[in-house]
Structure 1
Amino acid sequence: MIANTYPAAQHVMVLYTGGTIGMQASAHGLAPASGFETRMRDYLHSQPELVVPQWRFREMAPLIDSANMTPDYWQRLREAVVEAVEIDGCDSVLILHGTDTLAYSAAAMSFQLLGLHARVVFTGSMLPAGVTDSDAWENLSGALVALGQGLAPGVHLYFHGELLDPTHCAKVRSFGRHPFKRLERQGGGEKAGGIPTPLNYNQPRQLAKVAVLPLFPGIDAQILDGLLASGIQGLVLECYGSGTGPSDNPQFLASLERARDKGVVVVAVTQCHEGGVELDVYEAGSRLRGAGVLSGGGMTREAAFGKLHGLLGAGLEPAEVRRLVELDLCGELN
């Protein structure tokens, strides 16, 4: 991305969800705390050399450790972003979020906010603001400066001076200043011909029930059947390599076929950090395809999970969801 090729942000809404960046000590360890707006304002006032856009602040409720993030919270976050843009007149939104599920939330918002002509940036920190060697203020101020220099419309993830596409990255470290990394995935898909109306950000949404199941040696149909019995509508199936699974297990394949027949959308992604899914390379993959599994190409787990929530939450019919899974909506497949 080349700086200064897009309009500079003029009015930024900062949405504070909690997370490590604003945590303070409690009797049971670090916990989300109110009052971060004052701390943020004091810090920026102490750094007159920083040139940042005008900003206002909204504290989400409840403040959470991002380990407690849910799709229901995503709905409230989506509504807060739209309100900031369409009612409060902001052209950009900065979301302060805990790192553990930040990649999930940023990927999900990429699909929840399709068609919104505003910039949305997620950031957070590995250590709370104010503690020794914290990365909190450098990430927060860096994200504001990036917005002030101009970013493309859409969702971004900013951390330690780097802008990442949230549909291509994951948290890969539990320590240090570089917890997020772009995964070198492959497996492009055809670009969707425009955004279907039900997927536009201003259309109503409902909660979907989506699960993730990693394959492992010895997995049997009972585990998959248990997930299907829970009422899921979509499943991200983390396969081996280029999209293989236990193709010599007729019970497992029959369970996948039952999922398809019930309208459950099953999408295969690879467990590998690099590469992607090509279901027709090996017989062990083509049999999954024959049982109704769709190819997630180079999508990350986070992107596939967020995409299924976006498609199913829009109330689309399973056949339309299946069609759109393998089409690129916001760069997730390319």
Structure 2
Amino acid sequence: MNPAVTHPARNIMVLYTGGTIGMQASANGLAPASGFEQRMREQLAGQSTLASWQFQELAPLIDSANMTPLYWQRLRTAIIDAVQVHGCDAVLVLHGTDTLAYSAAAMGFQLIGLAVPVLFTGSMLPAGVADSDAWENLGGSLQALTDGVAQGVQLYFHGELLAPSRCAKVRSYGRHPFATLKRFGGAAHAEPLPAQLDYRQPKALANVTVLPLVPGIAAQLLDALIDSGIQGLILECFGSGTGPSDNPAFLASLERAQQRGIVVVALTQCHEGGVELDIYEAGSRLRQAGVLSGGGMTREAAFGKLQLLLGAGLPTQDVRRWVELDLIGELR
């Protein structure tokens, strides 16, 4: 199926994970709360332009600050079941905004080949409070799916569709918390993809972490991560992908990571641009130590991509190859 083709949805599954959109006051502040389906039905009653929808509350409901890759596995299963078991032709995920871009990016990779649209939305203020964006985002998402959205995973916020492989949460306030980052693209699109990456194939949990570089960073910190059992490391570098090239201990640690089969991917800390490891000696030394270029990938996309590639059980050399090729638009 052509991913650009849109089809109006007739039966939408709404998956509620928690998040600000349905939170209510508790003794310790706002907390996720059950009962959102009834509030949603009351709010949307009489809106005849919307497709039929059904509702499923995932357990446990969480503040998205508590999101984990394990929860992503449950979410992935719920999305697939919505299509294959409940006969839905579109899925809407209600999610807290703090890690929404991470989850949407992860599902973009985890659901490769699923021929339905999946939208993620949420709100910056709970439904029902003054000036909340909850109902406009929820109603707008349902209307967008009803009108027709291309297959694949996207974010919907304040009337805008965003590709999760290219965006991030850039504001902690207001109606426009997400933005598409201006990152370099141009990587070759990977075709055909390995069968292990198809959404029908089970995926294991992968141990991936992120290390931002700072001036004077010690090799001991990198060594501690290497010895912790990680399988993948996202190294957030300076500029176009530079690091402490005059620190032999740090470079030796990177080489040790490669020898252990740990996949190390360099990203830029900059808001715009991307990694080009061969421009400066301080970048080429990282390449010589086994570090891969993440190009213009966002942290969210790189984290989700490594979860997929490492969780699919591919040989390390194949994982290293696919990291630098475009799968879902993360390197375009």
Partner of 1:296: 294
User: Which letter does structure 1 place at the counterpart of 2:41?
Assistant: R
Residue 195 of structure 1 deviates from its aligned partner by 2.2
Q: How many corresponding residue pairs?
A: 329
Residue 187 of structure 1 deviates from its aligned partner by 3.3
Q: In structure 1, how many angstroms separate the alpha carbons of the residues matched to 2:275 and 2:132?
A: 38
Partner of 1:258: 256
Q: How large is the RMSD of aligned CA atoms in angstroms?
A: 1.0
User: Which letter does structure 1 place at the counterpart of 2:111?
Assistant: L
Residue 38 of structure 1 deviates from its aligned partner by 0.3
Q: Percent identity?
A: 71
Flag structure 2 segments of 5+ consecutive residues without an equivalent. none
Partner of 1:139: 137
1:63-212 alignment to 2 at 5 Å?
A: 63-212=61-210
Residue 52 of structure 1 deviates from its aligned partner by 1.4
Tell me the alpha carbon deviations over residues 127-156 of structure 1, each in whole angstroms, 9 at most, x when there is no partner.
Answer: 000000000000000011111111111000
Tell me the alpha carbon deviations over residues 158-183 of structure 1, each in whole angstroms, 9 at most, x when there is no partner.
Answer: 00011000010000000000000000
Within the candidate set 280, 283, 286, 1:282 is matched to 280
Residue 188 of structure 1 deviates from its aligned partner by 2.1
Partner of 2:222: 224
Flag structure 1 segments of 5+ consecutive residues without an equivalent. none
Q: After alignment, is 159-168 or 185-194 more displaced? A: 185-194
Partner of 1:32: 32
**Secondary structure in structure 1 of the residue aligned to 2:278:** coil
1:36-75 alignment to 2 at 5 Å?
A: 36-45=36-45, 48-49=46-47, 51-75=49-73
User: Which letter does structure 2 place at the counterpart of 1:15?
Assistant: L
Change (3 A) 1:73 1:268: same
Segments of 4+ in structure 1 off by > 4 A?
none
The 8 Å contact of residues 266 and 292 in structure 1, kept in 2 or not, is answered as yes
Partner of 1:16: 16
Partner of 2:267: 269
After TM superposition, the score normalised by the length of structure 1 is 0.97
The 8 Å contact of residues 5 and 151 in structure 2, kept in 1 or not, is answered as no
The 8 Å contact of residues 18 and 98 in structure 1, kept in 2 or not, is answered as yes
Residue 313 of structure 1 deviates from its aligned partner by 0.6
The 8 Å contact of residues 233 and 262 in structure 2, kept in 1 or not, is answered as yes
